Structure 1
Amino acid sequence: MQEQIDALKRDHHALDKALAICVSRVDRNENEVKDLSKTVHDTQRVVGEINVKLEKQETFTKEQFATMNEQHKTVLATVEGLAGHVTANTKSNLKLHTVYKTLCVISACFVTAVGVASKLGWV
């Protein structure tokens, strides 16, 4: 009977040791879970900060795009206005050029007529 009691004591002692190891592992796991939880929380905070920065950057980009779009419209209107003036000036210049050519032809005809008249002795 003593042997059985001694065997039970050894088994009890072994179980106590195994239980102590399990408790130690559970404590270690709890610490690791706490560390992981802190890491997750820190990561979430950093991701939140990055999202805020991205939202600000996106807003800034949208505002920049709107400003550039307005500037583009202004430049386009100015270019269209200038194109209209150039077209009008070109038409006017073409009319003046046509008038100038006509006057040159008339002058040449007059000079020729005067030259012919003087050769014929009419002048």
Structure 2
Amino acid sequence: MSRADLARRQAELLAALLAGGPAPEGFDPARLRVEATVLRRKHGRVLAYQRPELVEALGERYGPLFAEFTAARPKKAAERSGAYADAFVTWLIEGGHLPKPKLRLVDRLRRR
């Protein structure tokens, strides 16, 4: 197998695991769905570790909301976890799950 073929197959596998893409030839679609679920849950744990205030604010809703978010908006292969966390927070605010943050005094002064 050439390097180009290997790179293509790896990209197909990542798309199936991270972006809901079709299972590449030779892979069991059911097993890939299980692995994709495991990866999404792992991302949820990492995000909870990085943003504990988010878990505190959402309480028991954190897991189901994160699952809903990742189902609609999977993490891209090259996307940093901080950017993905920011997208999740934006989604939560836009969906009414979190209140819109109030501007801090410093932010208000900068806008003048």
TM bin (shorter chain): under 0.3
TM-score by length of 2: 0.23
Higher Rg of the two aligned structures? 1
TM-score by length of 1: 0.21
Higher helix residue share? 1
